[in-house]
Amino acid sequence: MYSSSFGVTLIALTMITSQVILAVTSNVVLSLGMVGALSIVRFRTAIKEPLDIAFLFWSIAAGIILAAGMIPLAVIGSVIIGLILLFFVNKKDHRNPYIIVLSCRDNASETAPMKFVRDHVERCVVKSKSARSGLVEVNMEVRLKDDNTDFINELSSMGGVSSAALVSFNGEYMG
């Protein structure tokens, strides 16, 4: 799993950099001023969302390009960047991943529940497994075939299963 907004940020920063390069290639003085202006940008607080950084640099670049008198480049570039960002930010995968936390009594009792999970989901990847005396815990990332989560009830009632939990994951890392 990855942060989808990071991928969108890479696209945005590529377009913003292209816009800045278009502006500075025509004027050596402007290019030196741009380097100076961008070198003084400091953030005193950590920005947790990658897309926020793209919007900050977009506004800085547009402001500098406008101040340099290149109004058509700033307007047309901003419209194109805005439309592309609007498209990519709203393009989400309709199937959210889930995490299944499966606790079994021992190693032998985990085989049947694991096969049951694989039969009832579209995709299953074991993310972690921990074992201690009398307990085996397996964490799996799954993509459901449909939105039906009733199979988790059957899973929790299988022999050898202590507990089964299904947790939604929206695809974004927080923290």
pLDDT tens-place string over residues 94-144: 667 889 999 998 777 888 888 998 988 888 889 999 988 878 899 998 888
Q: Please give the average per-residue pLDDT across 87-95, as a whole number.
A: 74
**How high is the pLDDT of residue 2?**
59
Lookup: tokens for 34: 């741009």
Nearest-angstrom CA–CA distance, 156 and 153: 5
What is this structure's pTM?
0.58
Contact yes or no for 130/105 (Cβ under 8 A): no
Give the DSSP per-residue string, the chain.
Answer: ---HHHHHHHHHHHHHHHHHHHHHTT-HHHHHHHHHHHHT---SS----HHHHHHHHHHHHHHHHHHTT-HHHHHHHHHHHHHHHHHHHT---SS--EEEEEEESSSGGGHHHHHHHHHHEEEEEEEEEEEETTEEEEEEEEEESSS--THHHHHHTSTTEEEEEEEE--S----
Using the predicted structure, report yes or no on whether residue 175 has a pLDDT greater than 60.
no
CATH of the domain spanning 98-168: 3.30.70.260
Using the predicted structure, report yes or no on whether residue 33 has a pLDDT greater than 60.
yes
Position 72 confidence tier, pLDDT thresholds 50, 70, 90: very high
Position 49 confidence tier, pLDDT thresholds 50, 70, 90: confident
Pick the more confident residue, 37 or 73: 73
Task: Single out the residue of 60, 63, 52 nearest to residue 85, CA to CA.
Answer: 52
Domain extents in the chain: 4-89, 98-168
**Percent of the chain surpassing pLDDT 70:** 89
